[in-house]
Amino acid sequence: MFAGAFMMGAKDRLLPPSVPFRFFATAVLMHVAGWAVLLAGAGDLSGYMGGLGLPLAGLHLITLGVLAMSGMGAAFQMLPVATRRQLGPVWACRLSWWLFTPGVVVLSLGFATAWTWALHGGATLAVAGLALFAFLVGRNLMQVSDLPGVTRHVWLAVVSLVLLAGLGLLLVVDLDIGVLPDRAAVAATHALLAGYGFMGMLTMGFSMVLIPMFVLSQGVPDRVGTRSAALSAAALLLGAGGSLAGSGAAAALGGLVGLAAVAVHLKAQAAVLKGRMRKRLESFFRLVKGAWVVLPLSLAAGIALALGLAPDVTAPLWGLLLVLGWLLSFATGILQRIMPFLASMHSGANGGKPVLLSHLVWETPLTLHVAGHAGGVALLAVGLVLHSPLILTAGAVLGLAGALSFALFALVMTRRYQAYENTKNKGTPPE
């Protein structure tokens, strides 16, 4: 008899594949939409310092639609396995998607068009979806006493999420009734908490489990994880506090402490790579390594911005390096690996031979995705520095081409998975 038949105590931590894959599929589509909207608004990117319009809509399609969406899917799937505790009922995970996905679409529409109903309705739905996610993750973490390196980062992400969602709602309300004395400071704090706090801490926390698992290496020691979490907490406190209070010096100091946290994190990841059993790093790792290179650069740009150095360049450059350079590179790199990995895992979970990873993965579109993404981010950076709409447009075209290529990979992978499952279910032994 196969494991799945009577392994419910062990198996019930595995969510149905429809839960994580609805988040991942949505992220893939939002990835294309985000780059397309950035391309449409490429003429407004130079010197962009905030405000409604296509750049803000494209930015949120990426941050909420891709980064948060894939983070939620990954957390729902991975966290209960890593912590060995239940995360929540399946219906609640599904409900968070049903709230969050239309919220992101409508909110982005509101950012692009300045329609009040879309801004209010989209923000309310998106925050409701995120609040449910934060509740489920928080409840899971409260049962965990081990894995402090991972859980402290995820706690920081949850706290940041609550704060950034509150600030985000304030920013939307402020558009109508002008409640904020310094809107720019609140917007910067919202961005900082979203980038480094919510997504950044999820990225760093999950890296301690995911990267060792994918390269087959020892995990990051708890004492190292807790050290990087403590430094990150101090950096977020200084950075967000300084930004909100309008103190550039405090925010810059937060950036410096953040660099120390990043140094601890990257040194630990380097040790993971050094001790790995899987000698050949797979193609997804090109994006992960690129993300690691850009992460400290984003902090350097943030420090320059906090000190008031050429804000018309450093402000959009900071956003670009943080969101597209670090977080999007890392998230799509992990998606390249985790989608076929989970598909293979689920295909074997109910018995029979699982579909091979190597059967699901089509390398060519992945390589094109990496090239398009890297080229797009590089050209956008050059375009922002040179204030060149032409270069910015070319960068967005490359980024969109990469996103389309990644979508093609996801489509082919899904078809191969379904074909394998159909063959298996008909009783024909799959090859």
Q: Which is nearer to another protein, 354 or 365 (CB)?
A: 354
The residue (of 14 and 67) whose beta carbon lies closer to another protein is: 14
What does the block give as tokens for 364?
């060519």
Exposed, middle or buried, 148 (CB in 10 Å: 0-12/13-18/19+)?
middle
Supply the minimum distance, in Å, between the C-beta of residue 275 and another protein.
9
Q: Report the distance separating Cα 243 and Cα 257, nearest Å.
A: 15
CA 133, 134, 140: angle at the middle one, nearest 5? 95
Q: Which is nearer to another protein, 31 or 337 (CB)?
A: 337
In the bound complex, what is the minimum distance in angstroms from residue 174's beta carbon to another protein? 44
- Measured from the CB atom, the residue of 13 and 22 that comes closer to another protein is 13
- Cα 326 to chain centroid distance, Å, stands at 9
* Selection from 360, 359, 361, 372 nearest residue 404 by Cα: 372
Smallest separation (angstroms) from another protein to the CB of 86: 12
Token pair in block for residue 382: 């050059």
d(CA 401, CA 369) in angstroms, rounded, equals: 7
Q: Least distance to another protein from the beta carbon of 347, Å?
A: 9
Q: Please provide the distance, in angstroms rounded to a whole number, between the alpha carbons at the two ends of the chain.
A: 21
> Tokens representing 40?
């449409």
Residue closer to another protein by CB (options 60, 424) is: 424
Contact set with another protein (CB under 8 A)? 1-4, 6-7, 9-11, 13-14, 81-82, 84, 146-147, 209, 212-213, 216-219, 277, 341, 344-345, 348-349, 353-358
The C-alpha atoms of residue 133 and residue 203 are separated, in whole angstroms, by 16
CB of 82 to another protein, least distance (A): 5
Cβ–Cβ < 8 Å for 284, 336: yes
- Minimal distance, residue 48 CB to another protein, in Å: 41
Nearest residue to 329 (alpha-carbon basis) of 303, 357, 293: 293
The nearest distance, CB 14 to another protein, in angstroms, is 5
Toward another protein, which CB reaches closer, 215 or 317? 215
Longest dimension (CA), the chain: 68
* Burial of residue 158, with CB atoms counted within 10 A of its CB: 0-12 exposed, 13-18 middle, 19 or more buried: buried
- CB closer to another protein out of 248 and 348: 348
User: What sign has the CA pseudo-torsion 156, 236, 48, 399?
Assistant: negative
Spatial separation of the C-alpha atoms in residues 219 and 213, rounded to whole Å:
8
Q: In angstroms, give the least distance from the CB of 213 to another protein.
A: 4
Q: Which is nearer to another protein, 84 or 387 (CB)?
A: 84
